[in-house]
Amino acid sequence: MAENESINLILPDGSVKKANKGATAHEVALSIGPGLARDAVVAKLDGSFIDLTAELDRGGHFSILTFDDPEGREVYRHSVAHVLAQAVKRLYSDVQLGIGPAIDDGFYYDFDMPHALSEGDLQDIEQEMEKIVAQDLPFEQEELSRQEAIDMFEEMDEPYKVELISEMQQEAVSIYRLGEFVDLCSGPHLPSTGRIEAFKLLNVAGAYWLGDENRPQLQRIYGTAFDSASDLAEHIDKLQEAERRDHRRLGKKMDLFSLHPQAGPGLIYWHPQGYRVREVIEGFWRDTHRERGYEIVSTPHIAREDLWETSGHLETFSEDMFDPMDVDGIKYLLKPMNCPFHIMIYQSEMRSYRELPLRWAEMGTVYRYERSGVLHGLLRVRGFTQDDAHIFCRPGQVEEEIIGVVRLAQYMLSTFGYDDYSVKLSVRNPENPEEYIGDEETWDQAEGALARALDRIGLDYTEEVGEAKFYGPAIDIEMQDALGRGWQGPTIQLDFNLPQRFDMTYIGSDGDEHRPVMIHRTVLGSMERFFGGLIEHYAGAFPPWLASIQVQIIPVSEDHLDYAAEIQSDLSAHGVRAEVDDRNEKVGYKIRSAEVQKIPYMLVVGDREIAQQTVSLRTRNEGDLGPREYSEFRENLLHDIQNRYMEPSMTD
């Protein structure tokens, strides 16, 4: 190599930075600016990530990534995962390593070891990790041949690493050394452990090797890491708040739902209090859809196997479906989706262009096989009810129908208190036309209709090239909850596939048969997931219009039960969900009980209230508001419920 031979590095702003061939990525970062070098985590050259310690042997598009960049955070946290594994190996004997990737907001590492890790062990492991950070050990990459790597990890008694290497196709295998610690890893990593600023181990869980429940169960340690102690503290506060809002904890505390593994995991049992909320949601959903031209349908839970073969689900979705059952020698399957059933209704008679669009909605219960390791309360289940709908329309009607669906979704989201959301438009990759069904003209028309609909409504969106399904483009809306977390929200998909597979037609104005466009759409998703999200969004304190019990009437003693019952009867006659706490307990105990249940309004009644035909009003967020005339309270209450106010408020 010629002395001082230079290379040209094209920076993200388009400028060209000259550097000596053989300079490290960190040296280049330092020449750009000391602040950038201080914050640098990893470099990228022509789209490939490289360690900051890597020597540059050529020019190209070059960038330095920090913790502020998603890829930088991933490298940072993956580096901390290596430190975790090293600490565990130092502290415990007979440890065999699984994998330790970075994940959203953190990282984990899987271990096979005889010692059963407890939450108390995490502090010891953290202290050992701090020692490793203080040692400022360099992350050193090395390449071995495939056989050399297998021999090394066999000698180290690391069977899981040997299995991973055995399944690799490439001959060269990358490892990283960290002091005495060695791990299989393609990198990149931080230059050294001294660059790690703040981390926290969060919890221990069980996890099957490679997610396969037929393989050994390992112990998984979850953690998180940030480049500043203050950011870590803020994140921990959010995690604690998220735990306080956890729908599983609140669901049990508020007696909303339960799960019973002995009867089958991933199946939800709705308790009376929870089902009341579900009824309110479904009633609002039905009324809103009917107001907007939808008709409600209901379809079976099972169908013959050949229906799913025609729809393509057996080909593309079989791993998520339950095994067939035999009925009179014919195989039937639990439905994983409602769409083929709505097509059956469409094909029950010949359709005319004058009938279109047809909008059919269903609260349809479907069943999908989820591995036991991913089941999670209401959020990942095996049986759920989906607010499903399908629109069958002419191609020229697509744009207006999409506008209608998006506006419906906006209305539903805002009514339930989700005011922040992001929109994604998933379109095909024009460079790979063979991956999509339908001709180019149809795709152009469909994608244009979706984009124009969003533009006409005035919604900002990001276009995701290559994210369309093979059967059509889509609009996906992600809603943000009170903690800023994203939740899967409304989705709108155009489908050219099923109308073709089922040979769906309508008679056009020209008397010929034409193919309809099918729009799949959901505005809430599954009732189970949506309800779980609502619990966490409101921390169980549902808006008054949604609350299972809207008013709790608390008599001071048995002498006041009749007056309490009169109020309860009158409120019920006006459609209010009111109950009397007639237990032989002190008033303070009853109030605390109602607060635990997060009931919006509490009415305490005693001698004075009976004499004056008043109530002593409390709300869950404002406490004691003093006496109110009952008729005035009822009028204000009905107004608040009718207008679906988010919080109970009766302040003068």
pLDDT digits (tens, 9 = 90+) for 302-332: 999 999 999 888 887 888 999 999 999 999 9
Question: What pTM was estimated for this model as a whole?
Answer: 0.84
Residue 457, class by beta-carbon neighbours within 10 Å (0-12 exposed, 13-18 middle, 19+ buried)? middle
Question: Residue 481 is encoded by which pair of tokens?
Answer: 């909850």
Which part of the chain has CATH 3.30.930.10?
Answer: 261-300+335-537
Instruction: Please say whether the structural domain 6-66 has been given the CATH code 3.40.50.20.
Output: no
pLDDT digits (tens, 9 = 90+) for 251-297: 999 999 999 999 999 999 999 999 999 999 999 999 999 999 999 99
pLDDT digits (tens, 9 = 90+) for 367-410: 999 887 788 999 999 999 999 999 999 999 999 999 999 999 99
Alpha-carbon distance of 519 to 603, in angstroms, equals 48
- pLDDT for residue 434: 84
Residue 552, class by beta-carbon neighbours within 10 Å (0-12 exposed, 13-18 middle, 19+ buried)? buried
Q: How far is CA 227 from CA 33, 129, 495, in A?
A: 19, 16, 45
Which part of the chain has CATH 3.40.50.800?
Answer: 551-642
> Could you give phi then psi for residue 638, rounded to 5 degrees?
-60, -35
pLDDT digits (tens, 9 = 90+) for 339-375: 999 999 999 999 999 999 999 999 999 999 988 778 8
DSSP class of residue 148 equals H
The CATH number given to 71-244 is 3.30.980.10
- Is the CB of residue 190 less than 8 Å from the CB of residue 137? no
Alpha-carbon distance of 73 to 70, in angstroms, equals 5
Look-up of token digits 């106010």: 645
Q: Which of 164-168, 480-484, 598-602 has the lowest mean pLDDT?
A: 480-484
Beta bridge partners of 522: 388, 491
- pLDDT for residue 497: 84
The CATH number given to 551-642 is 3.40.50.800
Q: pLDDT band for position 644 (50/70/90)?
A: confident
Query: Which residues make Cβ contacts (< 8 Å) with residue 287, sequence separation at least 6?
Result: none
Average pLDDT over residues 22-41: 94
Query: Which residues make Cβ contacts (< 8 Å) with residue 277, sequence separation at least 6?
Result: 256, 531, 534, 542, 546, 547, 548
Q: Mapping DSSP to helix (H, G, I), strand (E, B) and coil, where does residue 390 land?
A: strand
Question: Residue 493 is encoded by which pair of tokens?
Answer: 């998909």
CATH top class, domain 261-300+335-537: alpha beta
Distance of CA 189 to the CA centre of its chain: 28
**Beta strand pairing call for 6-10 and 60-66:** parallel
